[in-house]
Amino acid sequence: MHRREWVYGWLFLTPALVFLFAFTHYPAFNTILGSFFSTPKGRKPAEFIGLENYRDLVADEVFWKVLTNNFWFALGTIPISVALALLMALWVNGRLRGTTLSRVAFFAPTVLPLIAVANIWMFFYTPGFGLIDQFRSGLFGLPAINLLGNPDTVLGAVIVVAIWKEAGFFMIFYLAALQSIPPVLREAADIEGASSFYYLRRVLFPLLMPTTLFVSINAVINSFRLVDHIFVMTDGGPDNASSLLLFYIYEVAFKYWQTGYAATLTVVMLVLLSILAIGQFFLFDRKVHYQ
C-alpha cells in the first residue's frame, strides 16, 4: 500500500513537473549560467567570459536609467493604487447606494488587456488630437502639450494608466478580507461608542494588514512584470525615460540580439524578485497580525 502510493504520487506529478522544469527551472538556471557567457555570433559559439557581462552592466547607463525608472514607477503606482483599492473596497462593501455599479466601474479596467488599456489612454494623451489637449485648447485656449514626449512627464503619464488598471484588481482582495471580518467587531465598537474613524484605525487596518502586504507584494511583482503598455504608448522613449527593466530585456534580447547580456539583465530581475520573496517571508512571519 505504502509503496503503491509512492509510485502513484510520482506518476501523477510527472506531467506537470516536466513542463514546470522545462519552462521555469531549466530556463532560470540557464539564465544564470548564460550571464557568464558571451553572445554567440554567426559561427562563433558562446564563450565563457566570467564577469564581463556584469562589468558591462555596471557601466551601462541605460540599465541604471531603467532600474531607476522601475523604482519610480513602482513608488508612483503602488501606494496610490493600494490606498485607492482599500477606499473602493470600503465603499463597495458598505451600505451606500449604487455600490453594484461602482464595483463594475472599478473592476472593469482589470478585465481589459493592458494593450487595449494603453490604446484607450492614447486618446487622452496624443498631442493636438487627444482629449486632454482638446480640453486645454477648447476651454482655456492653452497650447498643445505632449505628455508622452517629454522625459519629465512621461513616467507620470504611464503611472496614471497603471493605477487605473490595477486599483480595481487590488480592491477584490480587500473586499474578500472585509467580508471575512465578523460583524460582531463592528457591533462591539458601536456599543463601546467608538467612532467610525477609530474603528477603522484600530480594528480594520490591523486586521487588513496581511491583505495589504499580499497586495503590495503583488503590486511590486506586477510593476516588474507588466510592460505591455510601453509598446503602445512610448516604446520606452523619449530617451529611455519610460523604459522599464523587462522592456529593456526585451529590447536587448530581441532587437539587438545580445542574448548573453539579456541573461545578465534577467539575473538582476531574478535577484530583485528573490529579495522580495525573502522580505515577504520575514514580514509575513513577524509583523503581520493574523486573525
What is the x/- site pattern for other proteins, positions 132-151, by CB under 8 A? Answer: --x---x-------------
Out of 119, 146, 150, 153, point to the residue binding other proteins (CB under 8 A): 119
- The CA distance from 185 to 190, in Å, is 9
CB-nearer residue toward other proteins: 3 or 152: 3
Site for other proteins in 268-287 (CB under 8 A): 269-270, 273-274, 276-277
202 binds other proteins (CB under 8 A): no
Out of 63, 78, 103, 219, point to the residue binding other proteins (CB under 8 A): 103
Site for other proteins in 228-267 (CB under 8 A): 228, 231-232, 246, 249-250, 253-254, 259, 262-263, 266
CB-nearer residue toward other proteins: 154 or 253: 253
198 binds other proteins (CB under 8 A): no
CB neighbours of 154 closer than 8 A, spacing ≥ 6? 147, 148, 234, 237, 238, 241, 242
Tell me how many helices (H) and strands (E) the chain has: 14, 0
**What's the min distance (Å) between Cβ of 151 and other proteins?**
21
Site for other proteins in 36-75 (CB under 8 A): none
For 125-137, the DSSP string reads HSTTTSHHHHHHH
Total residue count of the chain as it appears in this document: 291
CA neighbor of 74 nearest in space, from 213, 174, 210, 222: 222
For residue 41, report the phi and psi dihedrals to the nearest 5 degrees: -130, 120
Site for other proteins in 153-172 (CB under 8 A): 164, 167-169, 172
Out of 23, 64, 71, 72, point to the residue binding other proteins (CB under 8 A): 23
Three-state DSSP string of 70-86: HHHHHHHHHHHHHHHHH
**What's the min distance (Å) between Cβ of 180 and other proteins?**
8
CB-nearer residue toward other proteins: 85 or 241: 85
Extract the C-alpha cell encoding 124. Answer: 487622452
Q: Residue 68 corresponds to which amino acid?
A: T
